[in-house]
Amino acid sequence: MSKKIYYKITNKELGSYMAKNKAYIQYKIREFVTAPDWLAKQGYYLLVFDSLEHAKNECCSFNDKIWKCEVRDIQKNLPCCHYIYEVSKGFLPKNKTNIITWPKGTIMAKEVKLIKEIKI
């Protein structure tokens, strides 16, 4: 039985490629990591993509890296998507209206482990 492959985008230092400050996550190769406690308590975990194509579509700079990754505990329903500058400041608005949407192919999981960098 083969495991589903997911894809994670990181910056060149293996950190969050978009989130900063209070939402920043430092990923590790071959070691599971989790979301910051304040986000996890509100039902927001780590984002990965369901295909390499979807991950490539979201790369923001030449410094981004795409990784094959292993995930644990995929969340069945995605919560509301918030603007990254709000999340980076440690703020999730109480308004649950989706003003923006998650990128196509977004999956949320409680734990992510980077396995192998994909050369793009």
Per residue in 54-110, pLDDT (tens digit) is: 999 887 777 889 999 999 999 988 888 777 767 777 767 776 665 778 899 999 999
Percent pLDDT > 70 in the chain is 90
Residue 96, pLDDT score: 62
Instruction: Give the residue, 50 or 98, on which the prediction is more confident.
Output: 50
Average pLDDT, the chain: 86
Residue 1, pLDDT score: 37
DSSP 57-107: HH--STT-EEEEEEEEEE-SS---B--HHHHHTT---S----SB-PPTTEE
Per-residue confidence band for 2, with pLDDT thresholds at 50, 70 and 90: very low
Rounded distance between C-alpha atoms, residue 34 and residue 85, angstroms: 20
Per-residue confidence band for 115, with pLDDT thresholds at 50, 70 and 90: very high
Retrieve residue 100's tokens: 């923006």
Residue 19, pLDDT score: 75
Instruction: Give the residue, 21 or 3, on which the prediction is more confident.
Output: 21
Rounded distance between C-alpha atoms, residue 70 and residue 8, angstroms: 9
Smallest Cα–Cα separation from 118: which of 55, 36, 71, 24? 55
Say which amino acid occupies 87: V
Question: Has residue 10 got a pLDDT over 50?
Answer: yes
- Model-level pTM? 0.86
CA atoms within 13 A on the CB side of 107: 23
